[in-house]
Structure 1
């Protein structure tokens, strides 16, 4: 169900609105979608109180949500739909457009939840849409989607019942494409229950799809036939049908379908296709990341322009004063905590007094150079009396970040309980508006099989690499890949920063020494303008 098109402006903008509305709903051209996104963001209002504005603004949000969904930004799209639903609450309950629109928005939420594999939430949204829907076609479409969700939840009895109902609806309307889809998944639901006659329904669906030349449908049938035979341990036929599916995906140059087919092939023959599959995963990830980065940049620019147009009021000034106080308190607590931590540690570990002295000296010097000097400079600035509150706030914020970073660099590492989450928290902590941090394979590592010394070394070296990236590289994308095999842990770090002619700094030397200490190796690769790469093997 498409949302009714409503003009966002009069006269000269009407034709643009129709043009961008069509792009949001039908186009897959990234550049055109970005133009449409900017167009609608410029007319978007965060606070709508008049009923006359609601239809227009909800239409804008609907189109923005479509674009976000096409970019793969499912959570962003979901939040935009929720904003639209909140706006609808202004309208009266008997408003017919409100009812239709609320139903359409819940269908969108159901679709987004399905793509996120949150099948139970998707069913809840579709149930809400069913209550609001009035035409048979929409009701049948919703029930078809619910049948698929129950299939994904492995509730094959309910899925079978629902597919039998919708199949009769589609047979009555003589809709071949939908008849084939219902037959296909009805057959799969029966097959999962080992009911006789299931295979005939799946094959009948394939025949119909071939008759109407539905490539996507044919792919779906081949894919399900492969799964059917895989469930019955007939590896030969399973491989045959998934190869047929792969041919369809390649002919249509559809990366998502190729991903699904190759993923299935990996389960059947891991050695033959693993290299091509890995390359494909990287390609899809790269495309999606580029779109996300462009989207974030466009959104940031639009929001920044709107923020600059607003005047600073008394309330904002009061907030900044409170924030200044909080930052001062936080700064003092962090500095005191660092001193207290190392004082207590020195008392309890007499046998390591030399090492502790070196550590304390290093940290004291860092606190003095990076924090104390800045505090003294700030005190002089405050005593001068000619200061801007915003400048002071910025200085304090920088002080807070420096002190916080020193604290994090020297905290004990929990290598025993849930080390995966500890490592993930470290890496994602370096994510920002300007830098995207992506991890690959972290959840697949058996951390219990890795010694605490090696986990500590991996943590500290990654911390060193991420800190260097933040300070020097100007990278907007960082990928950290984890692999395990032959009793080795391999960590590959790569960013797209400015790169460097390799000349080992203290940080890189420390990283090298840490890895050598635990019997591992570390390789650095970098050239100016070509990013930085490091491969750690322990």
Structure 2
């Protein structure tokens, strides 16, 4: 299982490097080719311990600069290089994150930028490699399937089919893996790319060998023949390793050792990583039980360390993602809360403005109606005085100068004159500039006579300045209506008017000892009720026939 992973992971690096070179050429106008190429090789083919960190640091800076300049193509390329470096440094989940970020940029970019980036297949292929390394073959298969959907060239499809087959093998679905490799071989057989043909044949033969299929060995030997001609030492090592494993499983220790030795010699021409794996395979063939036990323990420790590192990386990565999601959720909640507060504040302001406007308009309407009423009364009073009273007075003068005029006619005209004077008095303008207490006393004196006694209580203690002009006019007219009603109907001999004040609240009480009164529609007393309501006051009539009349006013 591990041998299969190694060979195909190596292949994936070659594929990613090839695609990166293509992209590198496309962005040469954005970054000096020498710098980018220099750091690219530090990641793709590191020779010294400091190469990977330096390459990682360079492309980390490139990513931020490209994003700031809104250079999507450059940012995607930098993220791909970061994903490669992180994977090589063992930061598996960080590598996954960088690859996914690159895919997000691709999905958000225009078709033109997506085509220029030329990264879709390479990134999904890299994700498949990441998922295989952390024992998630199903997720790897999904990534390869996405890449296959996007692939437009046959050579890319063949590579992806090989990778997908190895993932199914890791899922213990060897039959399905073999079927996919057969399909890949059929497609590659007509191609001139001998490396891909050999790769597919070797993978197919290796899986068939493990499944006990007799055609497995011929396929591996055929792949070895092709690889010897292409002189690709990395691929040759994979063939020698698979053949050594085949003969070891078959119990042929001589041939197993022979191919293991060839693999060890070939690996020395490739890299230290290949040499380590070749030596491990060679030592597994030793008859020394201590060496076998050491190899078993060493493999167990390495596997446990990898799993522990992956778990730690997974926890760290999930914590980082959870932290990002939490912060994003908090920001969204805070924004929502602020918007809600603003909406509530605006709603309250609109409501208060609406209420204020309604009250203002209502008060203005009432005030205008009352003012219009008083203006009309003033006009009536002036017209009666100027026209009717004066004309009657002229007639009286003429009659007095005429000796033939009957005495009774003169009396009738005098009566008319007195009525006219009463009307004028009733509707005459109120002098609000004068002392209002004096104005009220003058009004009440008009109705006092030898037969009617009018008494006032506490008028002098009232602070009339607390009342506006509209309320003063209302009080004057209401008392005038009550006194007129008393004069015409009640036959009272005593009238008592009492005033009390609490802050701006004024209460008046009218009482007489007349015969009482019956309230009827059209009665002048009903006018007093309308006047009081217009200034938001209250008026209560208490009628007891033959036992007097009481009115309580509050405003």
Q: TM-score, normalised by structure 2?
A: 0.45
Which of 1 and 2 has greater Rg? 2
Q: TM-score, normalised by structure 1?
A: 0.46
